Structure 1
Amino acid sequence: MHDVVIVGAGPVGLFLACELGLAGCSVLVLERDPEPHSPFKAKPLGMRGLSVASVEAFYRRGMLHQLLTASGVHDDPGADHDAHEPSALRGVGHFAGMVLDPALVDVAALPYRLPSPAMEVLLTHLESVETLLSGQASQLGVEIRHGVTVSAIAQNEESAVVRAGEHEYAARWVVGCDGGRSAVRGLAGFEFVGTEAQLTGYSMHVTVADSEELRSGINLTPTGIYLQPSEGHIGMMDFDGGAFERSQQPTRDHLQAVLRRVSGTDVTLSDVHLASTFTDRAMQTTTYRRGRVLLAGDAAHIHSPLGGQGLNTGIGDAMNLGWKLAATVHGYAPDGLLDTYTRERHPIGAAVLDWTRAQVAVMRPGPHGQAIQAVVRDLIGTRDGTTYMFERLSGASIRYDLGSEHPLVGRSAPDLHLENGTRLGDLMRDGRGVALDFSTGQCLRDSAMGWESRMRYAAGPAKNDLGLGAVLVRPDGVVAWAGDRTPDREAFERAAGHWFGGPEI
């Protein structure tokens, strides 16, 4: 029997598998598709944007350089960490097709931001991400099986059994990472609620006979939106009430008619190489756990791809769940730790659904939508407006309610840098938590040693300690506790026990 069976070998399932493998869990990944490679995962249709939070996750697990290389990025910002000041952002995305100006982001206003090897935004493609993660997972002892379709799930108080064809796979826990049409979600009886589609979206790789008819970049029009990130790669959204179902294969004539209507041109498609459809249905499960079955990524929440939030939210789910599930498997998780997964991540998913709904409302054709667009354009033309948008898109605004009034607790930890050259990100590669002690007397050393197998302890003055005396960082990079110049040992020990269980004997 495995510790965990993960259903779905996309980026979310593979990232979670790496987290669990890093913690020494026995993990089996089951994937329905017979082959890992697909033209829809490669360029151009497989292109995705990774947010700051997602790039930080790869950095904290020592995979950033490999990710940059696989994504074709040769200007590695980690080459000179301290020189990588975030004063000139490369790009910050868009809201409802209205592109944000990076120069308007007030970097100084961002909460606890420090220079980091992690880029602001990384444009990559699914194939490179999955290849990197599957290789990493295999090195950590994770078994990945393709061509396996799950048909039933049964569970009791001790374990769960996944049936696929003639085979049954037993595990202590099962996690569904099998996408928006999750089999696990339905088989385990999760309630899935939300709002229905307003539009049909299309992503296609085509040959355009008269490409000069179409503008490059993102184009918000009176009848919808279309974008052309590169020649022949076109996305568009048609406000048809979601009438064109994903199960239908879009023909050349249909795609051409929609593109003409949305773009307001007489453009001609001479050939269609690949095409897929989606909608803006915004749905979420009411909980991310039922007994010994959990959900992550699109299995737990679906929405339109506006703003590139889906993949990034899923990686955040995996980062949050991985260490908590591993602690539960190994038996040292404090009471209720696994339940904090839903408590922390469900509001994040709900906020993303509303974020995409708001964009659909703004883009809606007609005088009402255009009136809202005019207001939003004015707002994002200001420094405060663009900074707010960037905080939401990058993940910088995420803060879990961990019951502390300290403004850093619950946020993603800044990449604190000790004067001896040690960086917080480097200390997190093995998946343990980190206790950073900036006090001159290293007053937390003895206390931290009680959790040595679950956290790393590092002490010494920092290049920029942000006025702190010490911080306790969870394995997912979230600050669990922060102390002043003279850290309170008892407070530190309470926080460590709350998140890491009792100290070792």
Structure 2
Amino acid sequence: MRTEIIVVGAGPTGLMLAHELTLAGVPVVVLEKQRTRNPQSRAGGLQPRTAEVLDLRGLLDPLLADAPSRNTHGGHFAMLPVELDCRPWRTRHPYPVTLPQDRLEAYLEQRLVEQGVPVLRGHEASAVEQDADGVSVGEIRGSYLVACDGGHSTVRAALGVPFPGRAGRMSAVAADLTLAAASDAVPTTRGHFSQYPRTVGGYFSILHPLDGDRYRLIFGRLSGDGPDREAPVTADEVREVLHAVYGRETELGELSAASRFGDAVRQVERYREGRVFFAGDAAHIHAPIGGQGVNLGIQDAVNLGWKLAAEVRGWAPAGLLDTYHDERHPVAARVLEHTRAQAVLMNPGQDEEVAAVRTLTTELLRLPDTNRYLSGVMSGLDTQYPGVGPRMIDLELTTESGPTRVSRLMHSGRGLLLSLDGRQRSVGHRSDRVEHVAAKTDEDVAGAEALLIRPDGYIAWSTTDGSSLETALTRWFG
């Protein structure tokens, strides 16, 4: 089989990347070693920036069409009892969006299959070979390969790419389940995440509602001990925790899925190895706190997708592919740093000194400036790249065709030249990769008369920059 891009891994990162490439008209094949989709919920929600990115492609509303309700609670930092307020960041999604990861994956895979994209399950990329002209995985040949195959990436291992960092120091379990009976200690409604943690009977645990009658239970021993990572999670093990933490009257109904995880912290030094790129957990892992993994992976995919498409289609300016590493590596490094800090504050076996730091940090979170800063960090709304403007606000617009929003103008995955002063501007021969729209808005645009927006939603140029539009178009769109 011959294709342009081989994507290894059918998690959120790989599926989103395949969607971006397909939108750009680039042939792609997705390889996944698991024969069936993982039914476990895993990440239980989307951070605001993830929601914005999905909205840029028209994917968010269909995903939420069957959602039982919208979340009305802010995010958290280290599970401290102060809601993070994202409203100062001018987002349409000021709260984390309740959406289990399994539902996101199922939807993205369905979209790809409907468009004729091969999602080949039962294919492990244990042998990867590359040369000056392309990459091969068995009998599948492509121009480039992107490893989105998780923290235990077989592609990374096959190429001998180091994964430096720190090994895990704790062992915990995440389980999806229903309850046959529940004590008063079991939460029945969704609230701020800080209300869920409990430390009882030698365990730390978090039990919170998912959709329908499902719950997610996260637990581990305060001693840090636990079975081997590969040991299956048994119903008896889960039942013991429910009894110890939530009382004997709390009975397990069905254990639908469960897995073990740790808190290892690692990141590849370079996101590119010849014709192979790394994204998502294949590029970086950290303690699973606050949906950071999905947030990073989806944005890795949307940052890389249009750049790979530009290279394949022959219009990429020199060095465009290198900006993937330059832009995304520091973002993940920052997440690794702040999740480490949160892990210290969240440590259930904390001493008096850590408790004092928690108290002080809680007080600081109540200050508007601190809350705004950390809400930007946790949500991804503050992400900004070197030499690039901030993310584009999803402005309400009026065009010749009627009212619209910036995000609706970007469903095609192309760049957008937005003229807000009514002037017609030229994108030259780039109309296949940049759309020009004249519009008006009543919202604050900091004096900009026109804006050039990259496909990933970041401002590449504005009339307030002092540089020419042609320079920006050439830099980003060839």
- Is this a same-fold pair by TM over 0.5? yes
Native 8 Å contact 2:242 2:252 kept in 1: no
Q: Does the residue aligned with 1:98 lie in a helix, a strand or coil? A: coil
User: In the superposition, relative to structure 1, how do residues 317 and 238 fare at CA in structure 2: closer, same or farther (>3 Å)?
Assistant: farther
Q: Does the residue aligned with 2:99 lie in a helix, a strand or coil? A: strand
1:23 match: 24
Distance 1:277 1:267 in 2: 26
Native 8 Å contact 1:6 1:27 kept in 2: yes
Unmatched 5+ stretches in structure 1: 76-88, 403-408
2:39 match: 39
Identity score, percent = 35
Native 8 Å contact 1:472 1:481 kept in 2: yes
Distance 1:440 1:423 in 2: 16
- How far off its partner does 1:328 sit? 0.7
1:470 match: 450
> Residues 2-401 of structure 1: matches in 2 within 5 Å?
2-36=3-37, 38-40=38-40, 45-46=41-42, 48-73=44-69, 90-101=72-83, 105=85, 107-108=87-88, 110=89, 113=90, 116=92, 118=93, 120-163=95-138, 168-206=139-177, 211-212=182-183, 214-216=185-187, 217-219=195-197, 221=199, 225-230=204-209, 232-241=215-224, 243-255=226-238, 263=245, 273=255, 274-364=257-347, 365-367=349-351, 368-401=353-386
- How far off its partner does 1:272 sit? 6.4
Distance 1:191 1:338 in 2: 21
- How far off its partner does 1:203 sit? 1.3
Distance 1:207 1:15 in 2: 30
Q: Does the residue aligned with 1:204 lie in a helix, a strand or coil? A: strand
User: In the superposition, relative to structure 1, how do residues 453 and 380 fare at CA in structure 2: closer, same or farther (>3 Å)?
Assistant: same
Task: String of CA shifts for 1:250-296, please: whole Å, max 9, x gaps.
Answer: 344544566677x4977876566242110011111111110011111
Distance 1:239 1:471 in 2: 53
User: In the superposition, relative to structure 1, how do residues 373 and 220 fare at CA in structure 2: closer, same or farther (>3 Å)?
Assistant: farther
Which shows bigger deviation, 282-291 or 459-468?
459-468
Amino acid at match of 2:79: G
Q: Does the residue aligned with 2:143 lie in a helix, a strand or coil? A: strand
Native 8 Å contact 1:17 1:137 kept in 2: yes
Which shows bigger deviation, 145-154 or 17-26?
145-154
User: In the superposition, relative to structure 1, how do residues 225 and 93 fare at CA in structure 2: closer, same or farther (>3 Å)?
Assistant: farther
Q: Does the residue aligned with 1:283 lie in a helix, a strand or coil? A: strand
User: In the superposition, relative to structure 1, how do residues 239 and 175 fare at CA in structure 2: closer, same or farther (>3 Å)?
Assistant: farther
User: In the superposition, relative to structure 1, how do residues 260 and 362 fare at CA in structure 2: closer, same or farther (>3 Å)?
Assistant: farther
1:482 match: 462
Distance 1:239 1:307 in 2: 21
Q: Does the residue aligned with 1:472 lie in a helix, a strand or coil? A: strand
| Count of residues in correspondence between the two structures | 458
- How far off its partner does 1:419 sit? 2.6
- How far off its partner does 1:350 sit? 0.9
Confirm or deny that 1:416 pairs with 2:401.
no
- How far off its partner does 1:221 sit? 3.8
- How far off its partner does 1:329 sit? 0.7
- How far off its partner does 1:219 sit? 1.7
- How far off its partner does 1:240 sit? 4.3
Native 8 Å contact 2:74 2:86 kept in 1: no
Distance 2:314 2:414 in 1: 16
Amino acid at match of 1:158: D
Native 8 Å contact 2:86 2:95 kept in 1: no
Amino acid at match of 1:366: Q
User: In the superposition, relative to structure 1, how do residues 228 and 56 fare at CA in structure 2: closer, same or farther (>3 Å)?
Assistant: same
2:192 match: none
- How far off its partner does 1:131 sit? 2.3
- How far off its partner does 1:3 sit? 0.3
Q: Does the residue aligned with 2:290 lie in a helix, a strand or coil? A: helix
Task: String of CA shifts for 1:40-60, please: whole Å, max 9, x gaps.
Answer: 2xxxx4452111111111111
TM-score using structure 2 length: 0.88
Unmatched 5+ stretches in structure 2: 188-194
* The one of 462, 474, 477 aligned to 1:497: 474
Distance 2:366 2:198 in 1: 16
User: In the superposition, relative to structure 1, how do residues 152 and 239 fare at CA in structure 2: closer, same or farther (>3 Å)?
Assistant: farther
Native 8 Å contact 1:227 1:236 kept in 2: yes
Distance 1:157 1:242 in 2: 48
Native 8 Å contact 2:46 2:96 kept in 1: yes
Distance 1:426 1:449 in 2: 23
Distance 1:33 1:148 in 2: 8
Native 8 Å contact 1:218 1:225 kept in 2: no
1:430 match: 412
Native 8 Å contact 2:87 2:94 kept in 1: no
Distance 1:119 1:377 in 2: 20
1:84 match: none
Native 8 Å contact 1:8 1:29 kept in 2: yes
Which shows bigger deviation, 429-438 or 410-419?
410-419
Task: String of CA shifts for 1:392-431, please: whole Å, max 9, x gaps.
Answer: 12111111111xxxxxx43211113333323211111111
User: In the superposition, relative to structure 1, how do residues 174 and 240 fare at CA in structure 2: closer, same or farther (>3 Å)?
Assistant: farther
1:452 match: 431
User: In the superposition, relative to structure 1, how do residues 272 and 391 fare at CA in structure 2: closer, same or farther (>3 Å)?
Assistant: same
Native 8 Å contact 2:42 2:174 kept in 1: no
- How far off its partner does 1:209 sit? 7.6
User: In the superposition, relative to structure 1, how do residues 381 and 435 fare at CA in structure 2: closer, same or farther (>3 Å)?
Assistant: same
Native 8 Å contact 1:209 1:267 kept in 2: no
